[in-house]
Structure 1
Amino acid sequence: MTEQYCQSCCISSDHPSLAGHFPSNPIVPGVVILDEVMHAVQQAIGLALGSDIPLRISTVKFLA
């Protein structure tokens, strides 16, 4: 059985990671996206943020 979970997030245009990151066409760096994914997974499975339980993403692919 495959479980699905959907959550959206907003990255503010003044987020520090966007400074100088393609100024004419800002792109959110993958590390910021992965951080948001990890927070969403923790929330979905009921872990407190900063929990000692290790989470791992073994494969990821970003599509434009």
Structure 2
Amino acid sequence: MISPVLADRRVVREPGPDASTGKWSARFSVEITEDEPVFAGHYPNSPIFPGVCVLECVQGAAESAPPPGAGRLEPAAVESARFLSAVRPGDVLEIDLTWVPRGTDWRCNAKVETARGQAASVRLRYRNGATT
């Protein structure tokens, strides 16, 4: 898959069961630098990281930390995406993921924050693909 986002994800909390809920969770950090190609022409003099790129960061994090025993997960839907504040060059996205089983599917809930507070809330649905 080709991504419009250059930034790499850094694992802050390894994927594993959350101590308080027992649900599979992880935390990632993504530094958004001013050399991201999507900033070119996107609100000159006041660049904003597009919401679709925030979704890309969440999806990449989710797919690198699937719950154990889930098999091969395939993206099925963006169930919800709320963008609560702008992400700007120099921001660091802190992405908290929690996986919840939904029948044979899985939901990945994500909270995205910057130093200024909550930036987005995202729910992704994944379908179990064929196992190999």
Same fold per superposition (TM over 0.5): yes
For the residues of structure 2 that align with 1:53 and 1:6, how far apart are their CA atoms? 19
Structure 2 residue ranges without an equivalent (≥5): 1-20, 86-132
Equivalent position of 2:54 in the other structure: 33
Q: How does 1:1-64 map to 2 (within 5 A)?
A: 1=21, 3=23, 4-45=25-66, 53-55=73-75, 56-64=77-85
- Give the alignment's TM-score, normalised by structure 1: 0.73
1:24-64 CA-to-partner distances (Å, cap 9, x unmatched) read 11110011111110000011117xxxxx7322321010001
CA-based RMSD:
2.1
Amino acid at match of 2:38: S
Identity %: 32
* Offset at residue 2 of structure 1 (A): 7.2
Equivalents in 1 of 2:32, 2:83: separation in Å? Answer: 16
Give the TM-score of the pair, scaled to structure 2: 0.39
Q: How far apart, in 2, do the equivalents of 1:43 and 1:20 lie?
A: 31
Higher helix proportion (structure 1 or 2): 1
In proportion to residue count, which structure has more strand?
2
Consecutive aligned runs of 4 or more in structure 1 exceeding 4 Å deviation: none
Equivalences, count = 59
Larger of the two Rg values belongs to structure? 2
